[in-house]
Amino acid sequence: MTEETDKLREECGVFGMYDFDGGDVASSIYYGLYALQHRGQESCGIAVSDTDGPNKILNFRDMGLLNESFTPETLAGLKGDIGVGHVRYSTAGSSVRENAQPLVLNYVKGTLGLAHNGNLINAPELRRELEYTGAIFQTTIDSEVIAYHIARERLNSKSVEEAVGRAMKKIKGAYSLIVMSPRKLIGARDPFGFRPLCIGRRDNAYVLASETCALDTIGARFVRDVEPGEIVTISPEKGIESDRSLCIPEEQHARCVFEYIYFARPDSYLDGFSVYNSRMLAGKFLAIDSPVDADLVVGVPESGNYAAMGYAMQSGIPYGQAFVKNSYVGRTFIKPGQKSRESSVQVKLNPLREVVAGKRIIMIDDSIVRGTTSDRIVKMLRDAGAREVHMRVGAPPFLWPCYFGTDIPAREQLIAHNKTVEEISEIIGTDSLAYLRLERLPEIANGLGICQGCFTGVYPLDPPGEDIRGEFER
């Protein structure tokens, strides 16, 4: 989490494709990942293989964005009809090229390519166990722990999907996996369903992706979601096979609610529910539960815009756009020094004086983490002539860290940890402040089982004895 944005950082995005007709898949994987770029901007990679050729995986990984890393020549060199791709933000492990995915393993049974989204809570102990039996790690990410366990289980399994299932019995935490074996594409989702994963199809090719928006980008139609705890195996001989032996009762599911609030693209559907509708509902509930007299409702781009529209529709107060966002500034950018951090928000956002001057403004944002961005944005509105600024937040207050892949920091860094709502309002300079009520969370997720650990401290799995957020950084 960077100080200048004070925003939750995205997870990772995974995408896999198998063309049964033998067509090259690298270009489609590239565009699928492009649709998932919002989930990670630190590194990217694609690995492909030719199912009719030698058992060899061609792999390209690099730091940075897709369009900075891949050239037409690079994609043309990735020949293969089966492949996996990944965009990464590091919630665990250093941000270095060695930690970019997909990971590729060559072992006695052949080759494996793996892309992983999520965090394991028992990765350190599993890693030490492997190290004491001779494993030599090339990365500092828990994804390599998963890959090693799959490879080891494969030695005593009849199939790679059986090996994935055996490995899943050992690993604990959040994960959506796409595994490429020489002639199978496998998708797996942790039993709690923390991270999304869906299946698509285009002609005679099957796709696995973190979000449905990636299917739309390549012209694939949505088939269904991978269920929490399910392992799907895709092959020309049998199409889609399903193993649900690791599934748990629906009432135990614990999807990350921030997929709906912030992470996922608004045009995606997660487990059958529209992300756009979820954010509109959050805004409507804020208007019902925390109304205030004002002249204009505005969102903090981009994630606050849809909740702001929902608030405006419910309240009858006009919706407007109060900020111009610089589209050419990425999620991170060069900062010459400490002083520049004070203006970094203004590099990205600038208020429209004509819109806000003399008005009472309701400003909607998806969350407040440390509060270091909120105060600057409120000040921007006041400097632009806003008469009042009332802030409404599309999530409850953060009180606890996350151990499952969302970059929510230690408690002492969370502004809501030891301050009342009134104290926070005074710190960030608003006339009033209100958060989404905790009991509204299941409603914005369409009644699906969600994790509320970062708000309540009650996690679906016991937190690890050691802090895994950024583990293995030596």
For residue range 238-294, what is the model confidence (pLDDT) as tens digits? 999 999 999 999 999 999 999 999 999 999 999 999 999 999 999 999 999 999 999
Pair 245, 125 in one domain: yes
Q: DSSP label at 99?
A: G
For the chain, how many structural domains are there in total? 2
Question: What is the pLDDT, as a whole number, of residue 329?
Answer: 60
CB atoms within 10 A of CB 114: 27
How far is Cα 311 from Cα 291, in angstroms, rounded to an integer? 9
CA-nearest of 302, 298, 265, 261 to 280 is 261
Question: What is the pLDDT, as a whole number, of residue 155?
Answer: 92
Cis-peptide, bond into residue 102, ω within 30° of zero: yes
Residue 268 counted as domain residue: no
Please give the residue range of the domain that contains residue 286.
274-452
Residue 414 counted as domain residue: yes
For residue range 192-230, what is the model confidence (pLDDT) as tens digits? 999 999 999 999 999 999 999 999 999 999 999 999 999
Give helix then strand counts, H and E, for the chain: 17, 23
**Mean pLDDT, consecutive 10-residue segments, the chain of 474 residues?**
50 94 98 96 95 91 94 97 91 64 90 94 88 80 89 94 97 96 96 98 98 98 98 97 97 96 96 98 98 98 94 98 80 43 70 96 94 92 97 96 84 91 97 98 97 96 69 32
Residue 472 counted as domain residue: no
Question: If phi over 0 gives left and psi between -120 and 50 gives alpha, with beta otherwise, what is residue 271?
Answer: left
Give SS3 for 423: helix
Which residues, including other chains, have CB under 8 Å from residue 404's CB and lie 6 or more apart? 118, 119, 121, 173, 174, 194, 256, 451, 453
How far is Cα 281 from Cα 277, in angstroms, rounded to an integer? 6
How far is Cα 99 from Cα 139, in angstroms, rounded to an integer? 5
User: What is the chain's alpha carbon radius of gyration, rounded to the nearest angstrom?
Assistant: 23
DSSP string across 305-361: HHHHHHHHHHH-PPB---EEE-TT--SS----SHHHHTTHHHHHEEE-HHHHTT-EE
Pair 245, 287 in one domain: no
Question: What is the pLDDT, as a whole number, of residue 107?
Answer: 87
Pair 396, 306 in one domain: yes
Using the 3D structure, point to which of 218, 253, 288 is the last residue of a domain. Answer: 253
Using the 3D structure, point to which of 190, 223, 253 is the last residue of a domain. Answer: 253
Residue 467 counted as domain residue: no
Pair 305, 160 in one domain: no
Pair 331, 397 in one domain: yes
Pair 162, 199 in one domain: yes
The first and second tokens of residue 3, run together, are: 């100080």
Query: How remote is the C-alpha of 412 from its chain's centroid?
Result: 24
Pair 180, 320 in one domain: no
Beta strands in 138-289 (DSSP E): 176-181, 184-189, 198-202, 205-209, 221-225, 231-235, 239-243, 255-256, 269-270, 273-274
Pair 244, 360 in one domain: no
The first and second tokens of residue 327, run together, are: 């589209």
Residue 464 counted as domain residue: no
Dihedral Cα 157, 160, 165, 170, nearest 10 deg: 80
Residue 372 counted as domain residue: yes
Give SS3 for 255: strand
Pair 295, 228 in one domain: no
Question: What is the pLDDT, as a whole number, of residue 331?
Answer: 46
Residue 470 counted as domain residue: no
Active site residues: 12
CA-nearest of 17, 38, 41, 13 to 27 is 17
pTM over 0.75: yes
The CATH number linked to 65 is 3.60.20.10
The CATH number linked to 365 is 3.40.50.2020
Pair 131, 70 in one domain: yes
Which residues, including other chains, have CB under 8 Å from residue 302's CB and lie 6 or more apart? 325
Pair 342, 248 in one domain: no
Residue 463 counted as domain residue: no
Pair 34, 88 in one domain: yes
Question: What is the pLDDT, as a whole number, of residue 10?
Answer: 53
